[in-house]
């Protein structure tokens, strides 16, 4: 299940995202979107988790929590529209 984490701090790193999610599930994929020009964080990233139930749990647990001192917004990505 793909997950997106928005509203991240610009200083938040990919490993911080990883550690946050790894508390609830094993991450299959994790990336932090970086700006092409500055190379800094765009403030959001994507996470992939195999276990859907754990993924949903991680979303609920991490959504609204503070990461790097900032409240983050975690949601599921576009679900199969087919």
Q: Does 4 bind DNA (CB under 7 A)?
A: yes
C-alpha distance from residue 12 to each of 46, 47, 67, 78 (Å): 13, 14, 8, 24
Q: Does 33 bind DNA (CB under 7 A)?
A: yes
Contacting residue, 50, 52, 66, 77, with DNA by CB under 7 A = 77
Gap between the Cα atoms of 34 and 32, Å rounded: 6
Gap between the Cα atoms of 31 and 55, Å rounded: 16
Sites for DNA among residues 38-67 (CB under 7 A): 38, 40, 42-44, 46, 48
Rounded to 5°, the CA angle 68-34-58 comes to 50
Number of residues that bind DNA (CB under 7 A): 24
Contact residues toward DNA (CB under 7 A) are 2, 4, 6-10, 29, 31, 33-36, 38, 40, 42-44, 46, 48, 70, 75, 77-78
């Amino acid at each position: 299940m793909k997950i997106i984490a928005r509203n991240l701090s610009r200083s938040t790193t990919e490993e911080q995202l990883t550690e946050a999610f790894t508390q609830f599930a094993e991450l299959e994929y994790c990336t932090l979107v970086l700006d092409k020009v500055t190379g800094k964080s765009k403030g959001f990233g994507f996470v992939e988790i195999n276990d859907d139930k754990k993924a949903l749990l991680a979303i609920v647990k991490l959504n609204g929590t503070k990461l790097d001192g900032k409240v983050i917004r975690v949601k599921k990505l576009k679900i199969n529209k087919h």
